Structure 1
Amino acid sequence: METTIRLNGKLADLLGSDAQREGVPVDVLAARRLEENVLLWRIRTAAPEDETRELHRLLRRQKSGTLTAKEREQLLALIDSRELLTAQRLEDLGALARLRGLPVRELMNQLGIRPIPAS
């Protein structure tokens, strides 16, 4: 699918200058920047806050031994969902690192993402 986007004024000038500096056509740079923004958005919104709060609440109940059977099902579903989101986030981090020509660890440092320590 091909889409045409018309840019006016300062934004067009800025994108043109950046493309010239990087030695790529404007459309290539624009596509790269759009892809980067989509990846960044997905990386930063991988885990909804309300879902994270509920996951932590259920984990605390499990640790205290007060988890009901229904809550256990909910916890397992949240863990499965989180594993899928985490896998997608890792793929997105890898794709963004490749676009920027960086090692994944360096990109994670730039974005303020810290790996979870192994327990």
Structure 2
Amino acid sequence: MRFEDVTDRRTAEILRPWLIARKQIESMDLVGEGAFATVYKGRYLRDVPPTIVALKMLKDSCRKEDIVAFVDEALVMGECHHRNVVGLIAVSIDQYLQLPIIVVPYMQNGDLQTYLRRIKKEEDKQQQ
């Protein structure tokens, strides 16, 4: 399944300002994995020096519904502007699999849910 096979013209137009060439990002270490996507620490090479970012990539076994939900996630992130919400930096398309890659700021403590679970676990240990 390819990005262009599931993206309608309207969605493609909305994403256009966010699109960057794949060569502008470089993946480094795997930092997380979910049911249909993986997250890598990476570099946004357009900036000098390169900005450390998180690259969220769909797995190659994804379904059409996964791609649509992934693109919708990118669109929501692109429209959300709040200092307490991670915003979208860019979207790229993998040159081989033709799947979208979401580029967001790298958060050293990971995603909010994982961070809150870790803090809760630490608090529970201290109370014992």
Place the TM-score, normalised by the shorter chain, in its bin: under 0.3
Structure with greater strand percent: 2
By percentage of residues, which structure has more helix?
1
- Flag the structure with larger Rg: 1
TM-score (norm 2): 0.26
